[in-house]
Amino acid sequence: MGANRAMRRRQVREQMHEWVRTGEMEQVRRLSQNGITREDLTKSYNDGHLDGFKAGTDRTLKTVYAGVVLQLIENGYENSDAIRFLQDLDNRLLTSISESEDVDEVFRRPGVRLMLKEDFERVQEV
């Protein structure tokens, strides 16, 4: 199996665009010949990353929050209880010290496993 994996990687690398294969230092050198500075690249990268994160996060959070409220109501929660739960959840998310704080806490607790890269059964009891 290792030989097949190495062969697939080699094929992908051979098919990569020449620009990608040049490496970061060569890309920066070529761009700087056209008057683009490393600071320009860093600013552009950071702006794009921030814009993409915001756009993705807004849609994802809206979908998750809506799903949570609907599921709580379907499970018999009153509207006020569902809203209070979601407000508590929102407060927890906004006051987390880092993006992985709550995830790390769940992994430290016995009995719950998050498998968010899975297609099904992402939250499991163990």
The residue type of 90 is D
DSSP 17-85: -HHHHT-HHHHHHHHHTTT--HHHHHHHHHHHHHHHHHHHHHHHHHHHHHHHHHHHHHTT--HHHHHHH
At 112, list the tokens.
């719950």
Residue 45 CA to residue 34 CA, distance in Å, equals 18
pLDDT tens digits, one per residue of 39-85:
888 888 888 878 877 777 778 888 888 999 999 999 999 999 999 99
pLDDT at 1 over 60: no
Residue 73 has a pLDDT of 94
